[in-house]
Structure 1
Amino acid sequence: MLAAVMLEQVYRALTGPVTGGIRPQHIHALRLQVVLDHIREHLADSLPVEKLAELAALSVAHFRRLFREAMGVPPHLLYPGRATAAGASLLATTGLPIARIAEDCGYSSQSHLSASFRAAHAATPAEFPRAPNRNRSQSR
């Protein structure tokens, strides 16, 4: 994704009108990418917005505004969606038990994963298509 952003910047710089500098929203794209990478790598961790703002080297207020502009949702709404998406991916590609998937994705319990999952996918994790596993009944 970073390569695509950089390629787009080079293309715009070479084909666009001379404006005297890079537009401000592009300056922060790399900062936000650092935050998104951190979120992806730490789905199971608590990620307060203050920590995310610190990673982006921005004030909390400025980070919230830029994040919403870039992502279309505030930071606190993106995180649960990413955890649910990670859960869906694990359900579809691994044979891990649902309780283990809930733990790995940072949910406090299997029922918390089930509630979030039902809201996002209109199905519980048990109803979602699963990867085959002969030992699914084992918790670890």
Structure 2
Amino acid sequence: MRSTAAADLVPLLEAAQRQGRLKEVLHRAVNTYRLLIVDEFGYLPFEPTAAHLLFQLVSRRYERGSVLVTSNRTVGDRGVVLGDPVVATAILDRLLHHSHVPAIRGDSYRLREKRRSGPLKATQIAPDATVAE
């Protein structure tokens, strides 16, 4: 298993591409880890180059290894996040083919804990402010 934030994964892929090691890094990502967890996907928007690198990763892992993606964005927002609707569709096509997409609504565990401690009132943040897929 390998777990990484999307914001850390993209620079790793970009550096590998610059160094001529992208094929090696992608090969390792496909053949070493049974599960790849990409956390905070869509928290920050990606440049089109990054979207293409993510496509290569997802495409190579497709039907070879599991990918778990956490996000506070809906599936429909991915074109905006990835900066290229065509690449976003291609990535989603592969990610969603054999997937389960739970939508979690309500407070995150961090907000829930803060509310329990008292300083944050329920009305300060909208009840559906945190949505993950």
TM-score category of the 2 structures, normalised to the smaller one: 0.3 to 0.5
Scaled by the length of structure 2, what TM-score is found?
0.33
More strand as a share of residues: 2
Q: Larger relative contact order (C-alpha < 8 A, sep ≥ 6)?
A: 2
Scaled by the length of structure 1, what TM-score is found?
0.32
| Greater Rg over alpha carbons, structure | 1
More helix as a share of residues: 1
